[in-house]
Amino acid sequence: MKKPVIVLFFVLLAFPMLWAGERYALVIGNARYVDIESLGTPRNDAEDIAAALASLGFKVDLRLDAGIDEMEEAIYRFSAALGTDRENEGFFWYAGHGVQAEGENYLLPVDIRAERISQVRRMSYSLGDLLRELENARNLVNVVILDACRNNPLPGESRSLSRGLAAAPQVQDTFIMFSTATGATADDGTPGARNSPFTQAFLKHIATPAILESVAKEISRETIAITRTNQRPYISDNILYVKDYSLYPSDGLIEITRSVVPSVGAPRASAAGRGQYSLDNTGAWALSFSFAANPNTGFDALHPGAAVNYTFLERFLSRGALFIAPNAFFVSFQAGLNKFADNGDSFYNYMPGAGALWKFRPDANQRFFLSAGLSANVFLGSIHYSYNDPGFTEVDDFFVEPMIGFHGGAAFRFTPLLAVELNLGYYLDVQGPYPVQGSGSYSLNFLQGTLGLSVTLPYGKKQGRVL
């Protein structure tokens, strides 16, 4: 019966495959055009939207003032990343010049040099090509936002281009939103403004914990109010497979600070605690240092020692874990000194391990956590043992024993990065009682309690313009 138990345990450790996919975003802000009119806000718009999306758990690729080659490469990489998992979510944002030619919408790179319609098609990136790339990725859902079409900036014969953008084609499980209605132009903002009116509205509502359809309507109302009814956003919602899709992350609570999004007011008081203590963006790493003290039931010995746990890939729903899968994983190392109660002899032991946890947070502000889990461990020890029976003096022995650990614990976070932890674990010797030379068999099963400090480490890294 031991092998099936071990196999089942490692099957549980493989449950991350059941999680939802990654969230990827590509954000392009084109402002400093070479041959046509430059724009004031797209770079700021893209930077602020990228920061907001990163706070929402997206892996963001930010491109500023991109030429046609860079746009093609970025969109290819974006589509390829989305295609790695059917559960991946995509978000595309473009701020800059956009034009409509013969019913097709084109996003203009900063190196555009076009005087004829044929040149526009050849030297810019069409919305149709973008949507086909996303459709071919076959991922869960995509959101496409265009804050474009400020005006027609192209000279010469391209003046015959149609005004504004054309209606977008319907693409399965894709939400499309333009900053203004089809056939109309968008406002680049008042002189000196950091963001366009549409981006201001988007940033104000992007972190709302509601379905995307409702959030988009609020963004539209805000845009209409800012522009005094001169700009009415366009929405095409074809998300059918995912019910009640939201940009708000299902695995955690977020906060977008004023320093990131200047146009957004101060967070509501009810959400302030949640944002401050939230540690679950797309994952978390934590290092715990604990003092361990337990009675060893097999040897009737005290077991003082130290334990270090490295927890990674924490993911949360609004309150905690999926019941079918763990939402945190860890590796650990323990070292201890066993002193026998009957004669004072001792031995050292070491126990590396790896495991999975189901972590929950009962309180809304995320200061208090509960956890339960399993681990696979190896118990290493060296005994020098004196026995009091006549005819027996000493034993020197070394043993290696595989074990399974059952864990429960609680943590209180007294700062956003520091928490006090109290954990209890029962470690079960898989092979049964260990035979000590000349003195019978001893069970290595033991109960252990640890009290320690958990330090959350920075998560994620930057490469180039990837946030």
Give the integer Cα–Cα distance in Å for 218 and 246. Answer: 14
Q: Which range, 88-102, 284-298, 440-454, has the best average confidence (pLDDT)?
A: 88-102
Same domain, 340 and 233: no
Residue with tokens 């680049």: 188
Same domain, 386 and 247: no
Q: Is residue 291 part of a domain?
A: yes
Give the integer Cα–Cα distance in Å for 392 and 386. Answer: 8
Same domain, 139 and 225: yes
Report the number of distinct structural domains present in the chain: 2
Q: Is residue 274 part of a domain?
A: no
Q: Is residue 308 part of a domain?
A: yes
Q: Is residue 5 part of a domain?
A: no
Same domain, 238 and 144: yes
| Residues facing residue 307 across a β-bridge | 290, 334
172: which 2 tokens? 């399965």
Q: Is residue 407 part of a domain?
A: yes
Q: What is the CA radius of gyration of the chain?
A: 29
Give the integer Cα–Cα distance in Å for 442 and 397. Answer: 13
For 40-61, write each residue's pLDDT tens digit.
999 999 999 999 999 999 999 9
- Asked if 253 contacts 320 with a C-beta cutoff of 8 angstroms, the reply is no
With a pLDDT cut of 90, the percent of the chain lying above it is 36
Same domain, 318 and 452: yes
Same domain, 51 and 181: yes
pLDDT score at 66 = 96
The string of DSSP letters for 347-375 reads EEEEEEEEEEEEEE--STTS-EEEEEEEE
Q: Is residue 271 part of a domain?
A: no
CATH number of the domain residue 241 falls in: 3.40.50.1460
pTM of the model: 0.53
Q: Return the closest-CA partner of residue 124 out of 113, 135, 136.
A: 113
Residues spanned by the domain of 319? 280-457
51/456: higher pLDDT: 51
214: which 2 tokens? 């409702």
Same domain, 37 and 180: yes
| pLDDT of 462 strictly over 50 | no
- Asked if 95 contacts 199 with a C-beta cutoff of 8 angstroms, the reply is yes
Q: Which amino acid is at 334?
A: Q
Give the integer Cα–Cα distance in Å for 71 and 64. Answer: 10
Q: Is residue 9 part of a domain?
A: no
Same domain, 296 and 375: yes
| Domain end among 220, 238, 266 | 266
CATH number of the domain residue 385 falls in: 2.40.160.20
Give the integer Cα–Cα distance in Å for 81 and 383. Answer: 53
| Domain end among 266, 300, 333 | 266
Q: Return the closest-CA partner of residue 90 out of 129, 59, 47, 54.
A: 59
Same domain, 231 and 372: no
Give the integer Cα–Cα distance in Å for 467 and 460. Answer: 8
Same domain, 259 and 341: no
Largest CA distance in the chain: 110
For 111-161, write each residue's pLDDT tens digit.
998 666 677 888 899 999 999 999 999 999 999 999 987 666 775 545 556
Q: Is residue 34 part of a domain?
A: yes
Same domain, 242 and 302: no
Same domain, 442 and 303: yes
| pLDDT of 357 strictly over 60 | yes
